[in-house]
Amino acid sequence: MNRIPSVDLRDFLSEDPAKKQKFISEIGMAYENIGFVALKGHFLDDTLVSELYEEIKNFFSLPVETKQKYEIPGIGGQRGYVSFGKESAKGKKEGDLKEFWHFGQYVEDDPKRKAEYPDNVMVEELPKFNEVGKTAYRMLEKTAKYVLRSLALHLGLEETYFDNYIKNGNSILRPIHYPPITSEPKGAVRAAAHGDINLITLLMGAQGKGLQVQNHEGEWIDAIAEPDELMINVGDMLSRHSNNKLKSTIHRVVNPPKELWGSSRYSIPFFMHPISEMSLNVLDNCIDEENPKQFEDITAGEFLEERLRELGLKK
C-alpha cells in the first residue's frame, strides 16, 4: 500500500446499514494494511480549527521565560508546557526538534479519577487559550468514540465495547510547534520514527509534507490530508489488544528542504487513551492457530508508565 485511504465518518453515523458497513470494512481494512486513514465528517468545524491554531500560535510566540512558567515538574510532561528538545523517540538519544503543550481530561462525575490525573494548566496571558483547547478536546474525543465503535464491530465485539474505557480516559491533546531550523541538525529530526502509545491518534495539521508513514515493505510514504480531514492512526495499545490485527504503524516528521527551514510547522495530535485499569490483554477472538498470542498481559496504566520512562519523560 503506497497511499493513505480516505473514509467519511458520516457514512458510519448514517441510518443506512449498507453505508455503515462500508465504513467499517474500509477503516478495518486500512488499519489491517497500513494503520492510517484520512477521515472526513468529524466533529471539528472550521471556526473552531481556526481559533485553536490562532491560540496555539499565540502561546508558542510568548517569550521562553513566560512559557517555562507552565512547565510543571514531577508529572512527566502530562499537562502544560514541555520545552524544546525534551522528548526523544524510544531508543533515540537526540531530542526531537519541537516544543509542545498538553491539555488533559476534563473529568466528569468521578472524584477518584479526578484525583488520579494532574490538573490542566491555565495560561494567564491568553484568556481564550484554555477554553478553545477544551472545546477542541471534546470534539476530538467525540470523533474518536465513533471511530472506536466502528473498530469494535470490525473486531467482532459489541459496538460500545470501548465506551466505558474511554469515558474520563487519560487522553491528551498536544499542540506541537516545530520552530524554524537555524543550523544543520546533528542527527535530530522534527519527530523521529516512532509508534504511538495509545489506542488511536487523531492528527490535525497533516495538510503539508512532513509526516511520513512506513508501509509493510519498509518504504516511507507521505501522509497528506485534505483540509477537511484528520489523519487517524492505530496506537500500540490497540495493536496489542487486537494481537496486531490492527497495525500500529511507525511514522515520523522529517525536516523540510533547506529552503523551508525558516518556517514553523504546527500540528495537533489527540492521543485517545483509556482509563488506566483497562486490560490490554489480547482479545480471545484475535487468537487462532495462524495468529498465536503475541503479547504479555498488561493494563493500560502499566503500559503507559513503561513507555513514558522509555521516552525520557519519567525517571
* Per-residue model confidence (pLDDT) at position 137: 98
pTM for this model (two decimals): 0.91
Mean pLDDT of the chain: 90
- pLDDT bracket for residue 161 (50, 70, 90): very high
E-assigned strand segments in the chain:
6-8, 36-40, 80-82, 99-102, 172-173, 176-178, 191-194, 200-204, 211-214, 220-222, 230-234, 251-253, 265-272
Give pLDDT tens digits for 216-236. 888 999 888 898 999 999 999
CA distance 298 to 225: 34
HSE-CB of 51 using CA atoms within 13 angstroms: 16
**Of 180, 203, 53, 27, residue with least CA distance to 128:** 53
- pLDDT bracket for residue 90 (50, 70, 90): low
Instruction: Taking residues 131-156, report their average pLDDT.
Output: 98
CA distance 51 to 132: 7
CA distance 50 to 268: 12
- pLDDT bracket for residue 288 (50, 70, 90): very high
Helix count and strand count (H, E) for the chain: 9, 13
* Per-residue model confidence (pLDDT) at position 216: 81
pLDDT tops 90 at residue 277: yes
What are φ and ψ of residue 4, in 5° steps?
Answer: -90, 125
- pLDDT bracket for residue 75 (50, 70, 90): confident
CA distance 85 to 311: 12
Alpha helices in 91-128 (DSSP H): 111-116
* Per-residue model confidence (pLDDT) at position 53: 95
CA distance 148 to 154: 10
pLDDT tops 60 at residue 196: yes
pLDDT tops 70 at residue 188: no
Pull the grid cell for residue 109. Answer: 462525575
* Number of Cβ atoms within 10 Å of the Cβ of 285: 12
Contact of 232 with 202, CB cutoff 8 Å: yes
C-alpha pair distances (Å), 92 with each of 126, 192, 213, 234, 310: 35, 8, 18, 22, 10
What are φ and ψ of residue 40, in 5° steps?
Answer: -95, 170
Give percent above pLDDT 70 in the chain.
90
What are φ and ψ of residue 250, in 5° steps?
Answer: -65, 135
* Per-residue model confidence (pLDDT) at position 210: 79
CA distance 184 to 73: 31
* Per-residue model confidence (pLDDT) at position 191: 65
Task: Please give the domain boundaries of the chain with CATH numbers for all domains.
Answer: 6-310 (2.60.120.330)
* Per-residue model confidence (pLDDT) at position 98: 84
* Per-residue model confidence (pLDDT) at position 3: 81
